[in-house]
Structure 1
Amino acid sequence: MSKAPTVYDVADRAAVSIATVSRVLRTPDAVRPETRDRVLHAVSELGYVPSGSARGLAERRTGVVGLYFPGFDAVDEIADLDVLAGDGRPDRPFTVVRGAGPREDGHASKLFQDEVLRGAELEAWRRGLVLMVGVGRGDPEASIVRDMAGRVDGLVVLASSIPDDALERLARRVPVVVLSGPRVGDRHDHVTVSNTEAMAELTRHVLAQTGGRAPTYLAGPEDSPDGGQRWQGFREAIAAAGLSVDDVQVLRGDHTRASGRRVGEGLVGRGLPPALMSSNDQMALGVLDAFRGAGVRVPHDVVVTGFDGIDAAALSSPPLTTVRQPMLELGRAAIQVLARRLTAPAAAPMSVSLPVEVLLRDSSDRGR
């Protein structure tokens, strides 16, 4: 096997310096066309492939950025899987199931993270970067994200996914962009959506449908990065309508459809509120499941709304009123902001807020 060509071989073949070869490969528009063409011809003839590791050492860059989430799946509920067992062929190639309900493996509740990841992947690819994804479920000490920090040029982390003190330590090693959640006395770059304003508008719509009677509010986990902003918008609209927030019934789920179903079943047993506003779509869909099974008519008996704008919300019965946040664009924006920070490390911290859409559908329209 012949020796792999080096940058020195390319420079000799093109009769230029190795610095010129480097400029052609990194910023071709900065080199005269005839010189650029000569270098690229030499690269093609020799089959030269730039060394990413060598370039990274020279530039102190890896070309890799990280995206850290607290977890994707309900890991504790996933059954064992061994595709190498036996001859690799299943005993039965398929199974027929009649009357199947929604999946309970936790996947559907993570569509937000799936879409953000897809957006981050697209933007990283567009910028010639490699995206490293870390999943920290069951990692309270954030050891996974610390390990990632030693392998990447910068990190995107979901707000509240790691402790604040750990985040500050990470930011001393690599640039950090915080995804979702407001800035709270820190100097990181932030990317979020207009949670407060959208939830306030949605609450005003619900109050108009209920004749001013206060809805029940279904909150998610207390550490939800967007939960505080959505609750703030709800409170502002309730107060502006002359109602007391103290009189609002607040229930709590874990952002899964199953938890929303349990809440809905409990409300059927205790008595229905005029409306139920959920802080995410999955819980609202679970509530609709429970109400439909109990013969509760939505929106005639009770108005139901969600937040996120996942595709399943448009396909529910009735279609779910919700707020569509730009999940894919969130991932793209986070990588854009991180790329800016890598080129301008001394720039002032940036806060980017993306617009959302309030989608009024049948689950809240009593005029139909």
Structure 2
Amino acid sequence: MVEKTPTVYDVAEMAGVSIATVSRYFRNPDAVRESTRERVGQVVRDLGYVPSGSARGLAARRTGTVGVCFPSFDDVDRIDARRLGAGPPVRVRVDTDAHQDTGSDLYIAEVVRGTEIEAWRHGFAVMIAVPRGAAAHNVVEGLAGRVDGLVTLARAIDPDQLAHISRRIPVVMVAGPRDGDVYDHVTANNHGGMVALTDHLITEHRLTRLEFVGGPEDSPDAQVRFEGFTEAMLLAGLGVPERPIARSDFTRVGGRETGRLLLAERRLEGIDGLVCANDQSALGILDELTAAGVRVPQDLAVTGFDGIEASNVSTPRLSTVRQPMVELGRLAVAQLLRRLAEPMTEPSTRVLGVEVLLRDSCGAHATSTP
């Protein structure tokens, strides 16, 4: 005989609370008094009650899920699919490649962690998608159809498709705004941070022949950082380059490719500093400079932007601008939930502060006072 499936009414009756309290217990547990929360939780476990997500969604026209979409920064195309299901291989070898990695982007990981924390605080789940290749459009559409709102990083979604999606669900961009867009934005002080870092190189280390390694051309944050770099150069009365000396794709692997190109084409001759658009690019370039016998910072200063953990353990330690990556993710979800509650408010842009970290790669040391 099949037992009757417990309902929310059963939970409320046995716990001695209202149905609304049971709903709050699942949707926003922090809003329920601790003693009540423990009592409801015990009844839920005793009954084996599982809330119906579909029923809640129909009643509130909500899914209880936040979508997160970010661009692909990995080497997935190089993965050999034949390895799947072929049995676990065991390899033993002498590791001579100190720079081998998966190309993962730690900035994105921290932002996503922030979205998960804030969504959890409000009783929401997070659904993540990384659109790639020919199926990218369908992946994004599938995500948009399953969530209440979307947090996305710059360049993750085609602009036309994003505009179409934003007519159905709210969108928050983790990046600075472009002219004319209508989304909410959460970003860091990219311009001010880069001005301050570049000014330090000029005024404290007397570096006057600086060049900028940019990010992808369609990255708004990379563009703003380049503008901050050029502003500091202009204020110091130095020559301002019209464009970056090179561009990378924001990955360490891409940074190494950029470093090899700069060395092979002898474009670093006569330069005393490279200001990079992000840490991963800077670390990749640093790998190649070290392999080529270029001393950092004695021969060439190198700086980054983001403040990922790898920048603190590199050799030499990388001078950088730390942005609050977890807080960016948290604020993006908080803004998304506000937009769900107040859909008619004007789009807003929130800018978070940054911290310039002076380390060995620019000639400063951890014990020095900025």
Quick one: distance in 2 between partners of 1:330 and 1:31? Answer: 27
Offset of residue 200 of structure 1: 0.6
Question: Aligned residues: percent identity?
Answer: 49
Q: Deviations over 1:54-80 (max 9, x none)?
A: 121011111011001122422212223
Question: 1:165-176 alignment to 2 at 5 Å?
Answer: 165-176=160-171
Change (3 A) 1:79 1:366: same
Local SS of the residue matching 2:83: coil
Quick one: distance in 2 between partners of 1:287 and 1:39? Answer: 56
For normalisation by structure 2, the TM-score amounts to 0.85
Amino acid corresponding to residue 159 of structure 2 in structure 1: D
> Structure 2, unaligned stretches of length 5 or more?
none
Amino acid corresponding to residue 359 of structure 2 in structure 1: R
Question: 1:286-301 alignment to 2 at 5 Å?
Answer: 286-301=284-299
Moved more, 1-10 or 233-242: 1-10
Quick one: distance in 1 between partners of 2:33 and 2:200? Answer: 61
For normalisation by structure 1, the TM-score amounts to 0.86
Match of 1:100 in 2: 97
Question: 1:110-189 alignment to 2 at 5 Å?
Answer: 110-139=105-134, 142-189=137-184
Quick one: distance in 2 between partners of 1:173 and 1:60? Answer: 12
The one of 336, 351, 354 aligned to 1:353: 351
Offset of residue 191 of structure 1: 0.6
The alignment's C-alpha RMSD in Å is 3.2
Offset of residue 140 of structure 1: 7.8
Q: Is contact 2:8-2:22 (8 Å) kept?
A: no
Q: Is contact 1:69-1:157 (8 Å) kept?
A: yes
Question: 1:78-89 alignment to 2 at 5 Å?
Answer: 78-80=79-81, 82-85=83-86, 88-89=87-88
Local SS of the residue matching 1:238: helix
The one of 312, 321, 324 aligned to 1:323: 321
Local SS of the residue matching 1:276: strand
Quick one: distance in 1 between partners of 2:131 and 2:95? Answer: 36
Amino acid corresponding to residue 328 of structure 2 in structure 1: L
Match of 1:250 in 2: 245
Q: Is contact 1:7-1:50 (8 Å) kept?
A: yes
Quick one: distance in 1 between partners of 2:288 and 2:208? Answer: 22
Q: Deviations over 1:17-61 (max 9, x none)?
A: xxx843122347999999999988976765544322112101111
Moved more, 179-188 or 353-362: 179-188
Quick one: distance in 1 between partners of 2:14 and 2:217? Answer: 62
Quick one: distance in 1 between partners of 2:193 and 2:64? Answer: 37
Quick one: distance in 1 between partners of 2:36 and 2:356? Answer: 55
Offset of residue 214 of structure 1: 3.1
Question: 1:327-342 alignment to 2 at 5 Å?
Answer: 327-342=325-340
Offset of residue 227 of structure 1: 0.7
Amino acid corresponding to residue 52 of structure 1 in structure 2: G
Q: Is contact 1:207-1:214 (8 Å) kept?
A: no
Match of 2:75 in 1: 74
Moved more, 54-63 or 37-46: 37-46
Moved more, 161-170 or 61-70: 161-170
The one of 207, 210, 217 aligned to 1:215: 210
1:206 aligns with 2:190: no
Q: Is contact 1:220-1:227 (8 Å) kept?
A: yes
1:229 aligns with 2:224: yes
Quick one: distance in 2 between partners of 1:9 and 1:114? Answer: 41
Q: Is contact 1:64-1:153 (8 Å) kept?
A: yes
Amino acid corresponding to residue 75 of structure 1 in structure 2: V
Offset of residue 360 of structure 1: 0.4
Change (3 A) 1:81 1:130: farther
Q: Is contact 1:219-1:227 (8 Å) kept?
A: yes
Change (3 A) 1:302 1:56: same
Quick one: distance in 1 between partners of 2:331 and 2:32? Answer: 31
